[in-house]
Structure 1
């Protein structure tokens, strides 16, 4: 499957990937408990044209995360298509409070929309609400903010689909038997925790009775900490058969450790990663299979959604539709969620067909 084909799949299939005074870069679920209180309570006009000159800002979990950079870069490219501009700003760490000062600064600068991958869904809520009182549209992506604090959530895939498919993928490779562990990002990351809940629920099914989850570890979306946590897991649980790391930073760090250790070929690793990060580990047989979606499409879709909000085409209400450039028409679902598409499995037979 080619990258173009993957984009087409994401566009056509809709079903219910990786975290203040930091560095800046420029231009580069389970169902929520309550519906978002849209700052665009006024009636939307689906026939309104996209405004030109819109200013968007991507606020990722952390700016030194390669996955997040791909998303923001694609978002900036999409903005150019509707004569807008987008930049990426954010902290160099993925702590719960590290995004707050950036939200405040972007609010003061008067951006039309802030697009955020929340490190903590509640920690950012107050500042985001303040931004909305100024007429700034809030779009969360990858990791949701509390739904009452944003207008839309661009979800890379159904949270249930991601969580269950990760567990199924690992189970297939270890024959549904043995001890397993999860290497997550931060303990408060909305997407990670939702996926893990679905993994645990899937694990409770009869077909996995011979599998046991022994530990959920947290690498905080930091390469070195994730590397060290992998080492710790393998030393603490000598009978470990597999690890799931649903974070691009974590899965590549875990693969790097395993590839140079005695555990290579003995412990199965899977998770969510980009092909360029994971290619060498697939080729040296450290990793058999892993999954993700196209992060370029995620950033592209988020950018068009923000533009539609800021232009008054949509308000964030369930059932509204908007056009997302090459990805076609999209429909807003329950609780302001827009789903990109299903996860895709990468392995030796197809990984060289992708470059991101």
Structure 2
């Protein structure tokens, strides 16, 4: 009897210990943005934080100081050594991270590309959380600017870095739209400048655009840092009536420029929802409640039903949101 009671006690103790261990080990997620100092990524981080508060996961974020192609590699390596369950990352390059991602996945770490994907290298990550259908971003930006300049005149693009995979996809689509759609036949792309997602360099590059192209009618900047810098330069130069600025920006960054007329309209999506969606997807895949395969439909509180598409791509919304004087007061991020 004593032996039986001891065995029961031991078994009960093991069960308690196992339960305690399970409770003490929530899913651990780290998010690595392109670089520090970019308020756009703060909204994604907030989505992760709120999602993890609800889900009970452990969330941290780290980032390099600059958005160079290889600057995120040591940060991913450090997370492999930490043994985190999920590395969510906004990659600075479509291929520079392939080896470190493969090493992480070999150790059981889930790799989620957030906000941008890795064109041609999707096999090196597990899934991509994207804000919208990126095939629409380039054409939407061209149309937004075209409408403001009467579909005629010289235009320039102010991008982030030369390696930025998301910007490069959008720019390629912009070029194709300008070249193939007769609607834009009188719009001429004169140059592409790169501000490296650095406010000062983006400012300097915009100043150079205004100086080198006196007939410039518009600037498209598909980066939140760049579009704010371009708007500031145009405002300071008092050229808002001659040079139109469009791009991808956050309402809080661009509010003043919309209200004072420097910028007529810009576009974006909800970066917050990307973080929220990524947190829910990561925890679901890790605990087995969500299958990471095309056709899977799952529910995200606040977003509704979400579908995993081909190549494990998941989008937070269908189309870009256009912000202007009529609606910017409705948004706060």
TM-score greater than 0.5 by the shorter chain: yes
1:155 aligns with 2:130: yes
Aligned to 1:191: 166
Change over 3 Å in CA distance of 1:304–1:52 after alignment to 2: farther
Aligned to 1:19: none
SS of residue in 2 equivalent to 1:298: helix
Unaligned runs of 5+ in 2: 1-23
1:270 aligns with 2:237: no
The correspondence for 1:202, drawn from 153, 177, 180, is 177
Aligned to 1:290: 266
- Answer yes or no: is the 8 Å Cα contact 1:119–1:143 preserved in 2: no
The correspondence for 2:282, drawn from 285, 295, 306, is 306
1:337 offset after TM fit, Å? 0.6
The correspondence for 1:169, drawn from 144, 151, 154, is 144
The CA distance in 1 between the partners of 2:201 and 2:126, in whole Å, is 34
**Higher helix share goes to which structure?**
2
The CA distance in 2 between the partners of 1:256 and 1:299, in whole Å, is 29
The correspondence for 1:55, drawn from 25, 28, 39, is 28
The CA distance in 1 between the partners of 2:277 and 2:229, in whole Å, is 28
1:315 offset after TM fit, Å? 4.5
Deviations along 1:193-213, one digit per CA (max 9) or x if unpaired, are 111111111112111111111
The CA distance in 1 between the partners of 2:189 and 2:289, in whole Å, is 46
1:348 aligns with 2:325: yes
Aligned to 1:30: none
1:339 offset after TM fit, Å? 1.1
- Answer yes or no: is the 8 Å Cα contact 1:138–1:306 preserved in 2: no
Runs of 4+ aligned residues of structure 1 deviating over 6 Å after TM superposition are none
The CA distance in 1 between the partners of 2:85 and 2:112, in whole Å, is 11
SS of residue in 1 equivalent to 2:150: coil
The CA distance in 2 between the partners of 1:326 and 1:149, in whole Å, is 30
Larger radius of gyration: 2
Aligned to 2:303: 327
Relative contact order (C-alpha < 8 Å, sep 6+): which is higher? 1
Aligned to 2:12: none
- Answer yes or no: is the 8 Å Cα contact 1:151–1:315 preserved in 2: no
Deviations along 1:25-54, one digit per CA (max 9) or x if unpaired, are xxxxxxxxxxxxxxxxxxxxxxxxxx9711
1:228 offset after TM fit, Å? 0.5
The CA distance in 1 between the partners of 2:217 and 2:78, in whole Å, is 46
The correspondence for 1:97, drawn from 65, 70, 80, is 70
The CA distance in 2 between the partners of 1:323 and 1:349, in whole Å, is 31
Aligned to 2:61: 88
SS of residue in 2 equivalent to 1:326: coil
Task: Identify which range, 256-265 or 235-244, moves more after superposition.
Answer: 256-265
The correspondence for 1:137, drawn from 92, 95, 110, is 110
SS of residue in 2 equivalent to 1:212: strand
- Answer yes or no: is the 8 Å Cα contact 1:244–1:269 preserved in 2: yes
Aligned to 2:86: 113
Aligned to 2:5: none
Alignment RMSD: 1.3
SS of residue in 2 equivalent to 1:317: coil
Aligned to 1:66: 39
The CA distance in 2 between the partners of 1:249 and 1:93, in whole Å, is 13
